[in-house]
Chain A
Amino acid sequence: MFLKTEKVSKYFGGLKAVDQVDFNLKKGQLKSIIGPNGAGKTTLFNLIAGVYLPTHGKVFFKERDITRFPLHQVSHLGITKTYQITHIFPSLTVFENIRIAAQSRETSFNFWKTTYSLREVNQRALNILEQVELIEKRNWFAATLSHGERRYLEIGIALATQPEVLLLDEPTAGMSCAETNLCAELIQKLNQEIQLSVVLVEHDMSVVMGISEEILVLNEGRALAEGTPQQVSDNEEVQRVYLGEG
């Protein structure tokens, strides 16, 4: 298995945010995690990404135990996350936002070389800006972008770290219908064209059902169901707790 968790749990005091969850992701797969608010989706993300240390259980990536790896090391292994609330570098230009992420795979603690001389990194940053359709606004300050554009920029930042697994936490939150559709298209394109494995936490069911190969449903920190979109939407328990019985 490409990425998996084994009975992973995270307790915050008495609260079991994630409780013995087994999560599996195949290489090149697009898998979604859904569940009501407080189900533990973001916590599971953070356990995989190295933001939190699990209370119990293990996380494996390409057969390697990465349970105790911090966020920056997990990122270097090829797992990159985006955040529920947009995390960008607001006072830097759009180009610089991407370039910073791209340079993380080259040289970062060099005091003397100028970033101008990082030709390949700079060109890669431009390529990514084209992918996320922000090339026209490359010289804008990130703070001046619209909400939807910021979400795109954040996906661009994640892509610039050359990930093998992309963890997207509610990427379409706050987007208009048109923007949501474009974003879903982009995610699918990344998954299919560059064989990027994607884990998606999303509340928009049309996006989840439309692009996911598999879905894991969480409820109160535990895995409730897992399967294809059809299997999940047919599951009575899922309908009861999440999709609504009516």
Chain B
Amino acid sequence: MEGRETERKAELEKMLQDTEPKPKTTIVWGTGLVLLVLPFIISAPLATEILIWGIFGLGFNLLLGYTGVLSFGHAAYFGLGAYSCGLALRYWQASIWTGLLLGIVSSMILACFIGALAIRKRGVYFAMISLAFGQMLYFLALSPLKQITRGEDGLTHIPMLQILSISLNRPRPLYYFVMVITVLMLYLTWRILQSPFGKLLQAFRENEERAKACGFNTTRVKFLSLVLSALYGGLAGALNTIYLGYVPLSTLFWLTSGTMVMMTILGGKGTFLGPLIGAGVFLFLQNTISLLTPRWELFVGAIFVFIILLFPAGIMGTLRDKYTSYRMVKLKKQIESSGDSI
């Protein structure tokens, strides 16, 4: 009897090996290696900007791509993170770490507030409420809080920063500083997606009603996903302040949210590297074409349409779908051949 049980356990273990193999972090460290050489391929400032938007996108993708919740007000987290960090650096002469931490914490608190009020709303209603909150913050910074935020001029005179006596005023050190944080955030995202919570996000996106019937409090799932997403937004905003050396008011404008949506869809929502690729392609095109013509938006828009026609699920999303189809054909053949052998 005992032998039978051991045999059965071994059989299950064998099945699990092909069904749930030990997850590997190759994709994180592999991406890290590519990022290591990126400033030798494109300019370091452009590469830095790609990483900052990439971090923002990683968080946005957790909410849109993995949880299936569309927020049109993500500029609020990015902008608040940027302003919190900028204000701390400018008025309190805070350290870079304090600035980053403040950026993250303030955005997460804002997400808790917005989440508590609006997370029960679904689909377009949540998107509209988040947009309204984002715009409220924009107008607050524009006018009532002008004394602190400097209104339309943006927050300037942010002091130069150093880490271990290396000035972040130069492009390469700044790039590598942002790169280390990006790789850490990639690793965090990878951990989240491999965790029970990450799988739950995907289940929620697929079928909220079924997830509820399984015993999950889906409101809490959405709320946590929003707060996590704001963490990335706040961090990206704070890094943007360090990168630019000032905080433009446009960080809070709805166009920032719109750009994020575009980047995520371009790269492939619901794919691990999609937002990073999307940010890369978008910013590279913007940077290259704007050198050639002042009407770069027109060309970037046309290329965006072309890419989406070619890759309907975004660049990484379409590649994933192709791989999935290939895998399914292989699995069907496997079952057929095992049936033949019986």
Residues on A close to B: CB < 8 A? 49, 70-73, 75-76, 80-81, 83, 87-93, 95-96, 99-101, 103-116, 118-119, 122-123, 126-127, 135-141, 144, 157-158, 160-161
Pairwise interchain contact A126-B16, C-beta atoms closer than 8 A? yes
CA distance A119 to B207 in the complex (A): 25
Pairwise interchain contact A140-B195, C-beta atoms closer than 8 A? no
Question: Which residue in A72, A103, A123 is a CB contact (below 8 Å) of B199?
Answer: A103
CA distance A139 to B17 in the complex (A): 11
Pairwise interchain contact B20-A122, C-beta atoms closer than 8 A? yes
Q: Which residues in chain B, 169-199, are within 8 Å of chain A measured between CB atoms?
A: 191-192, 194-199
Taken residue by residue from 185 to 219, chain B's Cβ proximity to chain A (1 for < 8 Å, 0 otherwise) reads as 00000011011111110110011011111111110
Question: Which residue in B213, B216, B218 is a CB contact (below 8 Å) of A81?
Answer: B213
Question: Which residue in B206, B213, B224 is a CB contact (below 8 Å) of A109?
Answer: B224
| List of A residues within 8 angstroms of B196 by Cβ | 103, 106-110, 113, 115, 118
Pairwise interchain contact A72-B217, C-beta atoms closer than 8 A? yes
Pairwise interchain contact B214-A75, C-beta atoms closer than 8 A? yes
* 8 A–B pairs (Cβ distance < 8 Å), ordered by A: A83-B213, A99-B20, A104-B215, A114-B191, A115-B20, A115-B196, A123-B9, A157-B214
- For residue B21, which residue of chain A has the nearest CB? A116
| List of B residues within 8 angstroms of A118 by Cβ | 196
B322 within 8 A of A: no
Residues on B close to A: CB < 8 A? 9, 12, 15-16, 18-23, 191-192, 194-200, 202-203, 206-207, 209-218, 220, 224, 324, 328, 331, 335, 338
Pairwise interchain contact B12-A126, C-beta atoms closer than 8 A? yes
CA distance A64 to B157 in the complex (A): 64
| Known A111-B197, A115-B20, A126-B12; contact A75-B213, beta-carbon cutoff 8 A | yes
Other than the known A89-B207, A108-B200, A116-B194, what 6 A-B pairs have Cβ atoms closer than 8 Å? A72-B212, A90-B206, A103-B199, A126-B12, A140-B328, A160-B214
- For residue A113, which residue of chain B has the nearest CB? B195
- For residue A89, which residue of chain B has the nearest CB? B206
Pairwise interchain contact A110-B197, C-beta atoms closer than 8 A? yes
Pairwise interchain contact A109-B20, C-beta atoms closer than 8 A? no
Question: Which residue in A83, A114, A158 is a CB contact (below 8 Å) of B195?
Answer: A114
| List of B residues within 8 angstroms of A127 by Cβ | 12
Pairwise interchain contact A71-B212, C-beta atoms closer than 8 A? yes
> Which 8 residue pairs are nearest across A and B when measured between Cβ atoms?
A75-B215, A89-B206, A87-B210, A104-B215, A114-B194, A101-B214, A100-B203, A104-B214
Pairwise interchain contact B195-A111, C-beta atoms closer than 8 A? yes
Question: Which residue in B16, B212, B214, B328 is a CB contact (below 8 Å) of A122?
Answer: B16
CA distance A70 to B218 in the complex (A): 11
Q: State the Cβ distance, B322 to closest chain A Cβ, in Å.
A: 14
Residue picked from B196, B206, B224, most chain A C-beta under 10 Å: B196
Pairwise interchain contact A100-B335, C-beta atoms closer than 8 A? no
